[in-house]
Amino acid sequence: MLKDALLRMADVFSPAALLNGQEYQQKGYVLTIRLSDGLLKARVKGRSSQIYDVHIDLKSWPTTPAHCSCQYRINCEHAAASLFSLQVRENYDIPAPQNYHREESLGTWLASLREKEEKKVKKDNTHELVYLIELQLTEYEHRVLIKLALAKRRKRGGLGKKIFFNTVTDSRRQYFTDEDEHIVTLLIERNNSRGWFERFALRNSELLKEILNTGRAYLSQHVESKLQLGEPVNAKLVWRLTPNGNQTAILENEDDAEAILPVFLDKPWYFDEALNTLGLLAMPYPVGTIKKVLKAPPVGLENVSNIIQQMTVMCPDLPPPKIFEKKETYHIEPSILIRFDAIELKKRFLMPTEIPHFLFVADIFFNYDGVKVKIEDAPKKLVKDAGKKLIEIPRNIPLEKKIHAEITQVLALRSPNLGEKIECEYDISHEKVLANLHNEDDLAKLYKNILPLFEKRDWKVEFTHPVYQEIIDADEVEWFSEVEERGNDFFSYQLGILIDGKQVSIVPLVAELIARLDKNKIDNLPDHTVVKMPLPEGKTLQVTLGRVKPLIRFLLQYGTRHLKDETRLRISRYQLILMRETEQAMLAISARWLGAETIRRQLNQLTSLTSLPNIEVPSGLETSLRDYQQEGLNWLQFLRLSQFGGCWQMTWA
Q: Where are the domains of the chain?
A: 1-119, 127-229, 233-322, 335-463, 478-608, 621-652
Distance (Å, whole) CA 496 – CA 290? 57
Non-local (6+) Cβ contacts of 455 within 8 A are 461
- For residue 271, list its beta bridge partners: 261, 278
pLDDT band at 147 (very low <50, low <70, confident <90, very high): very high
Is the confidence at residue 537, as pLDDT, over 80?
no
* Distance (Å, whole) CA 15 – CA 9: 11
pLDDT at 103: 65
pLDDT value for 374: 92
Q: How many Å apart are CA 143 and CA 264, to the nearest integer?
A: 8
pLDDT in tens, 309-337: 988 888 888 899 988 888 899 999 999 99
508 pLDDT above the threshold of 70:
yes
pLDDT mean over 608-629: 74
> Alpha-carbon distance 19 to 16, whole Å?
5
pLDDT score at 400: 94
Where do the H-state alpha helices sit in 130-257? 170-173, 178-190, 205-213
User: CA 181, CA 203: separation in Å to the nearest integer?
Assistant: 19
Residue 4 pairs in a beta bridge with: none
349 pLDDT band, cuts 50/70/90, is: very low
**C-alpha to C-alpha distance for 154 and 348, rounded to whole angstroms:** 20
Task: Confirm if 499 and 506 have CB atoms less than 8 A apart.
Answer: no
Overall average pLDDT of the 50-67 stretch: 87
Mean pLDDT of the chain, nearest integer: 81
Tell me the pLDDT tens digit for each residue of 260-269: 999 999 999 9
Average pLDDT, integer, range 588-605: 49
Containing 466, the helix (H) or strand (E) segment is none
The pLDDT tens digits of the residues spanning 443-472 come to: 878 888 898 899 899 999 988 887 777 777
pLDDT above 90: residue 366: yes
For the segment 363-378, the average pLDDT, to the nearest whole number, is: 91
Q: Is the pLDDT of residue 119 over 60?
A: no
318/290 Cα distance (integer angstroms)? 8
Higher-confidence residue of 411 and 553: namely 411
Bridge partners, 250 (sequence order):
238
Which of 97-106, 430-439, 585-594, 631-640 tops mean pLDDT? 430-439
Report the candidate in 322, 346, 505 with the shortest Cα–Cα distance to residue 421.
Answer: 346
- Rounded Cα distance between 143 and 342, Å, is 32
Question: What distance in Å separates the CA atoms of residue 389 and residue 292, rounded to the nearest whole number?
Answer: 29
pLDDT at 584: 62
Phi, psi (deg, nearest 5) at residue 144: -110, 130
φ, ψ of residue 289 to 5 degrees: the values are: -70, -45
Q: Are 467 and 358 in contact (CB under 8 A)?
A: yes
- The whole-number pLDDT of residue 589 equals 41
Structure confidence at residue 15 (pLDDT): 82
pLDDT score for 393: 92
CB–CB of 490/570 below 8 Å?
Answer: yes
Give the mean pLDDT of 604-612.
60
The one-letter code for the residue type at 337 is L
d(CA 383, CA 348): 47
**Gyration radius of the chain's alpha carbons:** 37
Q: How far from chain centre, in Å, is Cα 587?
A: 38
Look at residue 514 in the predicted model and tell me its pLDDT.
78
Helix 205-213 / helix 178-190 crossing angle, nearest 10 deg: 150
Torsion of the alpha carbons at 186, 187, 188 and 193, rounded to the nearest 10: 150
Given a cut of 80, whether residue 481 has pLDDT beyond it is no
Task: Report, as an integer, the average pLDDT of 547-567.
Answer: 68
pLDDT at position 108 over 50: yes
Residue 127: strand pairing partners: 152
> Minimum mean pLDDT among 87-96, 201-210, 341-350, 492-501: which range?
341-350
Percent of the chain with pLDDT over 70: 82
Task: Give me the mean pLDDT over the 546-557 stretch.
Answer: 76
Rounded CA gap, 237 and 234, in Å?
11
Nearest C-alpha neighbor of 223 from the set 273, 272, 184, 267: 273
How many C-beta atoms surround the C-beta of residue 352 within 10 A? Answer: 13
Q: Sign of dihedral through CA atoms 452, 454, 459, 464?
A: negative
Other beta carbons within 10 angstroms of residue 322's beta carbon come to 18
pTM above 0.85, yes or no: no
**3-state class of 418 per DSSP?**
helix
Task: Assign 180 to helix, strand or coil.
Answer: helix
Range of weakest confidence among 227-231, 239-243, 485-489: 485-489
- Which helix or strand (DSSP H or E) is residue 241 part of? strand 233-241
pLDDT the model gives residue 562:
54
Q: What is the mean pLDDT of residues 52-69?
A: 87
Query: CA 473: distance to chain centroid?
Result: 31
Average pLDDT over residues 57-73: 84
Please name every residue paired with 92 in a beta bridge, in sequence order, or none if there are none: none
- Residue whose C-alpha is closest to residue 575's, from 593, 553, 596: 553
Please compute, for residue 634, the number of CA atoms within 13 A of its CA located in the half-sphere on the CB side. 12
- What type of residue sits at position 624? S
348 by DSSP, 3-state: which?
Answer: coil
Closest C-alpha among 217, 12, 244, 220 to residue 106? 12
Q: 403 or 473: which carries more pLDDT confidence?
A: 403
DSSP bridge pairs for 552: none
DSSP state, residue 441 = G
Backbone angles phi, psi at 237, to 5 degrees: -90, 130
Longest alpha-carbon distance in the chain: 122
